[in-house]
Structure 1
Amino acid sequence: MCGIVGWTDFTRDLSQEHTTLQRMTGTMALRGPDAAGTWLGPHTALGHRRLSIIDLEGGTQPAVASTEPHQEPVVLVYSGEVYNFRELRAALETRGHRFTTRSDTEVVLRSYLEWGAACVDHFNGMFAFAVWDARREELLLARDRIGIKPLYYFAYPGGILFASEPKGIMANPLFQPVVEEDSLPILFNARLALPGETPLRGLRELRPGHILRFSRSGSHEYPYWRLVSREHRDDLTTTVTTVRDLLEDIVDRQLVADVPRSAMMSGGLDSTIMSALANRRLNAAGEGPLHTFAVEFAGDEKDFKPTELRPERDAPYARLASRHLGTVHHNITLHTDDVLAALSAARRARDLPSLGQFDTSMYLLFKAIREQSTVALSGEAADEVFGGYPWYHDERLVWRDRFPWIGDAPRLADAFAPDLHRRVRPADAENDRYLTLKAEVPRLPGEQGLNARMREVMYYSLKGPLAYLLDRKDRMSMAVGLEVRVPYCDHRLVEYVWNVPWEMKNADGRWKSLLRLAFADVLPQETLDRPKSGYPGTHDPAYDAEVMRSIDKVLSDPSSPLHGVFDPQRVEGLTRSGSKTMTWLNSSHLLLPILEVDAWMRAYNVSLA
């Protein structure tokens, strides 16, 4: 796991741009605390920071291969893990390739030499990489199918910048951070962003399952993978067995590492299943028991207030699951002062506007995990893939022709100043994005009714909320040098379950039926019966009061970069509306983006066009 940066420009000599490349590479230091490397050529400069996971001695980057007949270099910078690298290595050796390390990095490079851009079709894993092919004078960028590892780029006439995080691009003076008015809706609700879209002018994220080629003739981004809808022919018993077999294989693959491993376990269905499989595998190999981790907040016993998305506290269930499985469990207890003190570090890790306490608590959780291990498993995507969120099971929200996780909830954009609101038309911006995704849904010919609608609903979740959760997971973990792996994002599992009809996904009339049926024999009954509970937040009134005071200060500050964006009376109206929503904990949670966007714009000198 690493951080990568790069710069290709056919109009200038980049071999002399050592200082700029070092500055770009330096922004990735937290992602890769173990080693650094750069490579410069006439038209391309590449930088890499390494977090050593596999083959700790080998696998240094940038990785360079000379090619016949003129020895033009092919250079790779790569972030992520290819879990099937051993099988690929064996296949490449039969084709004449020779290896000098045990790393998956060399397998990725040799796979490109063998198959070109089509090498991505052979990879099972999470990855983002860049290859400069001097033979073709072409830069190739690629990202894994689900979008687990990030990769941003900024294209300009004759050139392109790229990096694992926006800060790597911002370190180059060619990029100026500007937010245009039309991007304000996604600036204040990042879940509305379409794949590849960012609020900064000219900054794009390479879309999941896509490749970008950049050469003298320009850039071209295209998909190498997408979901395909097919008729599901397996009966329920076969489907349940297949899900179990897939997950067992996935967890086994994702435990491959030369460093200590652990897991996040909230005591919910998906994280407990994942931990059960990992613990069994490590114990069988004589490397157990598994260390598991959950986060809780001081004062939860008296302050916790249940919501539809967070009906219960995690900590008691996590302890119960640990006792049942036999893991070594760690409940990380955070105080409000801890959360407030770590805000700046979490904001710096995010690069884009943060989620406040939700980013910060995850940052602190990952920091605690890093003291025990370098690799951790996490349960992102189980709800999106198997149908775990409450809005999947609320008929009113399912059939409403809009994003189901928002429903009739208040929108922060509704509090824009009147003139700005008329120009930006946030309701239209939201609807346009909804209709754009609706048109992309890979439909099954002849499918109708609830199955057809649930295919749409689950597609929206995969493209919006999941992308945001994966981004948060990557930023907060890599900021402390922790590699987090996500078994439920394995594309084989996603492809299979995508085509399972809704009545099977809801076979026992409850959320995530397939997981419950597949693993009923390994979990405690309390876990099997527990309803979905989202990632926890603090309910400390002191924290909420501090957030609201800070927001009031921003709204009344004429020097704020957001001065004039919001109507204070409309903001006050949102806090008094009393509207219920599955997404927000309370008013301070709803209004938090005002504070976070203000802090981000100040820290990164972002201007509003």
Structure 2
Amino acid sequence: MCGLLGFLTPGRVDEALVAAVDAALPCLRHRGPDEHGTWHDADLVFGFNRLSIIDIDSSHQPLRWGPADNPERYALTFNGEIYNYLELRAELATLGAEFRTEGDGEAIVAAYHYWGPDAVRRLRGMFGFAIWDTETRELFLARDPFGIKPMFLATGPGGTAFGSEKKSLLTLLHQLQLTDALDPRALEHYTVLQYVPEPETLHRDIRRLESGHYARLRPGEAPRFTRYFDPQFRVRPFARGTEHARYAEIAAALEDSVAKHMRADVTVGSFLSGGIDSTAIAALAIRHNPNLLTFTSAFERPGYSEADVAAETAAAIGSKHYIRMVSPQEFAAAIPEIVWYLDEPVADPALVPLYFVAQEARKHVKVVLSGEGADELFGGYTIYREPLSLRPFERMPAAGRRLAGRLGAAMPDGRRGKSLLQRGSLSLEERYYGNARSFNDAQLRAVLREFRPDWAQADVTAPIYARSVGWDPVARMQHLDLYTWLRGDILVKADKMTMANSLELRVPFLDPEVFRVAEQIPYEQKITSGRGVAKTTKYALRQALDGIVPPHVLHRAKLGFPVPLRHWLAGDELFEWAQAQIAESQTDHLLDKGAIKGMLDEHRAGRSDHSRRLWTLLVFMVWHGIFVEQRIVPDIKEPVYPVHA
């Protein structure tokens, strides 16, 4: 695990460029406080900050490896973990590979040497890495299938820079001969979706290497991108009498994944909420570490805490449990620091309690497991039930559906049935843009100075939907969320908030072998109709976890990290803070601040709930204040950790 940074330029590496890369490394230090430094040759500079997890005393970066006739042919810098590295090393040894460390980094480079770019298909893990071949003078960049670990890229006349965080590339734009201009299209996408979708960033000249992609480039050339992973939901119906065997297959895949995710030379803990996903991971993890430590965070406001359920679960599985309570004052004070760590704005308030629980966990452990990805793989979001409720509309002729839409539009806001008629009149592609949609077109026109209908969210989703034509609607929604909500929100906040505290987070659900069994599950084994426990999501997963997850959690509804944002923005906790952000932000050329202030006043008066829309805009204003105006200077402190960790 580390924060990596690199600069490729044809024969122009000199002391000044090495110094520039070295000067950019401190803003990555939270990703790897254990070791840091640079390495270079005539065309390439590598910078790194290492968080030592496996083979602590060796596996230093950049890691050099090569065959017997050129043992330092390759240089690797690597962010992430490869969980099947022991199996890969054993297989590669039969091909003649010799290893000088006990770590997972050499497995990556040796796999690349023997199998070429196809090596990425053999890796079970999370990764963003760069391999420099000193013989062919080619750079190979790769990112894991689901996008657990980040990789940013910027290519200009001066070369190509790449790194784990965008803020490190911002300091190198001058050397690249690029500008720090913002991308208005990305801003519109952010405002609607609450995150900036890949491969965009809010800076026009910096992009992301997409999940499931690798890139090859030579000095002076543009990167050549290849998609190596495109998740397909190849449904295999449950034959009569095979249900329990299929459930056992799911449980076995997950248990194997958790076992491999426990591999580390440091203590591994687990996040634990009141839901089934984190509970399943913790319950399986404790089989490998009877002294497992678990962690949760909560707010004191009634209805916004899973602390009691998590504590009951910890007692049931036998873990030592820690709870981090977060006050509204702490919440507000931490926002600038959190946005600085984010790099790109993400308007999901759940990232704040995640930041604080990571802070608590880092006092005790260096690695935690978590349950991200279960909803996308196994059908866990309530919205996935929508196709069941809209089935009657599918039988209507097109004219009937259009009439239903007109009737819904004519009904007063808040009238029961209005939303059903309007959504039923639309196709899946027209109505579902992923798990979050903060603004409709009319609301966008009110707050954005530049609004382009052709930049709408369908601009992001249409190419993804085109790859799932003919699938059942639930599988299509899951597929869309894998490419949008999961990698744009869920995994960004998981990576950024844990790495902000130099804590490695591992997500066993997002494993190729777990996906292999999940992709085959038919929709009726994900979403069921009925009442009570018969009306549920993730049905097959719940059945597979019966006997693993305590009964009080097995059929419990999803809650997540609830945040009392609606109350706080209307009350004394955040109202004045929000007023100040609107007044002080230098974003008048981008946003209609008068309209936003009106939204805040309406929210305060209780006439409308604008909390998520306001939060989306306020987070952007803070981001702009840090990265554009430099009006806000977060108080980023050097981390101090217990020696035993």
The more displaced of 127-136 and 192-201 is: 192-201
User: What do the CA deviations read for 1:455-491 (whole angstroms, capped 9, x no partner)?
Assistant: 2111121111111110111011111110000011112
> How far apart, CA to CA, are the structure 1 residues paired with 2:374 and 2:601?
32
The more displaced of 34-43 and 59-68 is: 59-68
> How far apart, CA to CA, are the structure 1 residues paired with 2:192 and 2:297?
25
> How far apart, CA to CA, are the structure 2 residues paired with 1:220 and 1:334?
46
User: What do the CA deviations read for 1:58-94 (whole angstroms, capped 9, x no partner)?
Assistant: 1100012356867873211001100000011111112
Distance 1:268 1:231, change over 3 A: closer
Report 1:517-556 matches (<5 A).
517-538=543-564, 541-542=567-568, 544-545=570-571, 546-556=573-583
| Match status 1:430 vs 2:457 | yes
- Conserved? CA contact 2:127–2:144, under 8 Å: yes
- Conserved? CA contact 1:192–1:433, under 8 Å: no
Provide TM-score, normalisation by structure 1: 0.88
- Conserved? CA contact 1:336–1:540, under 8 Å: no
Q: Any idea what SS the aligned residue of 1:119 has? A: helix
Q: CA deviation at 1:177?
A: 2.4
Alignment partner, residue 482 of structure 2? 462
- Conserved? CA contact 2:385–2:527, under 8 Å: no
What code does the residue aligned with 1:278 have?
A
Query: Which residue of 464, 472, 493 maps to 2:514?
Result: 493
Report 1:273-422 matches (<5 A).
273-282=280-289, 288-298=290-300, 300-301=301-302, 304=303, 313-355=305-347, 357-394=349-386, 395-396=389-390, 400-402=428-430, 404=432, 411=439, 414-416=442-444
Query: Which residue of 212, 217, 236 maps to 1:214?
Result: 217
| Match status 1:599 vs 2:622 | yes
| Match status 1:186 vs 2:189 | yes
For structure 1, the 5+ residue unaligned runs are: 283-287, 305-311
The more displaced of 521-530 and 367-376 is: 521-530
Q: CA deviation at 1:42?
A: 0.8
Q: CA deviation at 1:536?
A: 2.0
| Match status 1:588 vs 2:611 | yes
What code does the residue aligned with 1:551 have?
A
Q: CA deviation at 1:204?
A: 1.1
> How far apart, CA to CA, are the structure 1 residues paired with 2:484 and 2:588?
25
Alignment partner, residue 119 of structure 2? 119
User: What do the CA deviations read for 1:536-584 (whole angstroms, capped 9, x no partner)?
Assistant: 2135845654544343344445x61344522524663587499x9xxxx
- Conserved? CA contact 1:5–1:48, under 8 Å: yes
Alignment partner, residue 503 of structure 1? 524
User: What do the CA deviations read for 1:518-543 (whole angstroms, capped 9, x no partner)?
Assistant: 11113332212211112221358456
Q: CA deviation at 1:366?
A: 0.2
Q: CA deviation at 1:46?
A: 0.5
The more displaced of 474-483 and 454-463 is: 454-463
What code does the residue aligned with 1:439 have?
A
What code does the residue aligned with 1:270 have?
D
What code does the residue aligned with 2:619 have?
E
> How far apart, CA to CA, are the structure 2 residues paired with 1:93 and 1:365?
41
Q: CA deviation at 1:355?
A: 3.5
> How far apart, CA to CA, are the structure 2 residues paired with 1:392 and 1:509?
12
| Match status 1:200 vs 2:221 | no
> How far apart, CA to CA, are the structure 2 residues paired with 1:167 and 1:220?
24
User: What do the CA deviations read for 1:115-172 (whole angstroms, capped 9, x no partner)?
Assistant: 2222212111111100111211111110011111111101113621101010111121
Alignment partner, residue 307 of structure 1? none
Cα RMSD of the aligned pairs, angstroms, is 2.8
> How far apart, CA to CA, are the structure 2 residues paired with 1:160 and 1:38?
17
- Conserved? CA contact 1:356–1:596, under 8 Å: no
- Conserved? CA contact 2:603–2:610, under 8 Å: no
Distance 1:85 1:66, change over 3 A: closer
- Conserved? CA contact 2:22–2:37, under 8 Å: no
The more displaced of 389-398 and 196-205 is: 389-398
The more displaced of 334-343 and 245-254 is: 334-343
Distance 1:413 1:62, change over 3 A: farther
Q: CA deviation at 1:440?
A: 2.7
For structure 2, the 5+ residue unaligned runs are: 391-422, 529-533, 631-645
What code does the residue aligned with 1:77 have?
T
Q: CA deviation at 1:385?
A: 1.1
Alignment partner, residue 418 of structure 2? none
User: What do the CA deviations read for 1:424-456 (whole angstroms, capped 9, x no partner)?
Assistant: 235751222232221133x56xx5xxxx21121
What code does the residue aligned with 1:601 have?
H
> How far apart, CA to CA, are the structure 2 residues paired with 1:65 and 1:408?
45
Q: CA deviation at 1:264?
A: 0.8
Q: Any idea what SS the aligned residue of 2:561 has? A: coil
| Match status 1:93 vs 2:93 | yes
- Conserved? CA contact 2:6–2:47, under 8 Å: yes
Q: CA deviation at 1:231?
A: 4.7
- Conserved? CA contact 2:581–2:622, under 8 Å: no
Q: CA deviation at 1:9?
A: 0.9
> How far apart, CA to CA, are the structure 2 residues paired with 1:15 and 1:219?
25
> How far apart, CA to CA, are the structure 2 residues paired with 1:454 and 1:61?
43
The more displaced of 540-549 and 218-227 is: 540-549
> How far apart, CA to CA, are the structure 2 residues paired with 1:152 and 1:164?
6
- Conserved? CA contact 1:414–1:426, under 8 Å: no
Report 1:154-193 matches (<5 A).
154-157=154-157, 159-172=159-172, 173=174, 174=176, 175-191=178-194, 193=196
Query: Which residue of 240, 250, 255 maps to 1:248?
Result: 255
What code does the residue aligned with 2:248 have?
T
Q: CA deviation at 1:25?
A: 2.2
What code does the residue aligned with 1:383 have?
D
What code does the residue aligned with 2:475 have?
R
What code does the residue aligned with 1:8 have?
L
What code does the residue aligned with 1:294 have?
T
- Conserved? CA contact 1:259–1:375, under 8 Å: yes
What code does the residue aligned with 2:245 have?
T
What code does the residue aligned with 1:436 have?
P
What code does the residue aligned with 1:222 have?
T
- Conserved? CA contact 1:33–1:49, under 8 Å: yes
Provide TM-score, normalisation by structure 2: 0.83
